[in-house]
Structure 1
Amino acid sequence: MKALTVSLALAAGLLLQAPAAADTLLIERVQAAQGKTLPARGQSMAQVEKAFGAPQQKFPPVAGPGDHRHNPPITRWVYPEFTVYFEHNHVVNAVLNKAHQAEIGPKPIE
């Protein structure tokens, strides 16, 4: 019984230490993102293109089902370091791109 308790304690200690490297990477990326200038909410497509240049990719608008008032068209522009989302012609959000496909997060920058 004592050996089982010791084994469980060691396993718990190892599990608590395992994600530290990934957490540090995410924290560093979030901190780096805070210093970056991204398109601001409300800017027009023309203002974004003037300030940041032409995007690498422009995806066509996608609208939800029903009328455009409740499901407006959303357009996505992809730059090397970030992606911008537009509702009609204005920025609704800009987020940093992932460093690799397996990465989770960071949260959108507002």
Structure 2
Amino acid sequence: MNTFKPVFTAIALAAVATAMAPAARAGDTLLMQRVQQEQAMNLPRKGMSMAEVERKFGAPTQKLDSRGGGSHKQPVINRWMYPGYIVYFEKSHVIHAVLNTPAGNNTNPQSPK
């Protein structure tokens, strides 16, 4: 049995992980800053109904096409755009509000990605 190959593979994986660590830390820092910024803002909270969101935050600038709804495991997701953020609803209740930032990959929510 050749024990050299598994040891060499483990060493190679450790080297790759070590080389990638600074990039991961920078990404983690950006994500933590974004989460802190979202928490400090007055955004729609999880569980709010569409009516509550519209009453408290006004009409959205745009209501995007809904997605999903093909099965019980894939409920309808509605998305409302506001200046600076997007509100995601599962059926008619908020599941998340996300800032429109280039780092958030949601600057073009019309894209089917």
Alignment match, 1:61: 66
Alignment TM-score, normalising by the size of structure 1: 0.60
Q: TM-score, normalised by structure 2?
A: 0.58
Gap runs ≥5 in structure 1: 1-15, 106-110
Shift of 1:60: 2.4
Name stretches of at least 5 consecutive residues in structure 2 with no aligned partner.
1-21, 106-113
Structure 1 residue 95, shift from structure 2 partner: 1.0
Distance 1:72 1:27 in 2: 29
Q: Does 1:46 align with 2:39?
A: no
Residue number in structure 2 paired with 1:5: none
Change over 3 Å in CA distance of 1:64–1:32 after alignment to 2: same
Which residue, 85, 90, 93 being the options, matches 2:88?
85
Higher relative contact order (CA 8 A, sep 6+): 1
Aligned residues: 85
Point out the structure with the larger helix share. Answer: 2
Cα offsets for 1:6-53 (capped at 9, x unmatched): xxxxxxxxxx7xxx7x98876655443321011111110000000000
Letter of the structure 2 residue corresponding to residue 33 of structure 1: E
Take 1:71 and 1:29, find their aligned partners in 2: how far apart are those partners? Answer: 27
Partner SS, residue 33 of structure 1? helix
SS in 1 for 2:74: coil
The verdict on how the C-alpha distance between 1:80 and 1:72 changes in structure 2, with shifts beyond 3 A counting, is same
Cα shift at 1:104: 4.7
User: Could you tell me which residue of structure 1 aligns to residue 75 of structure 2?
Assistant: 72
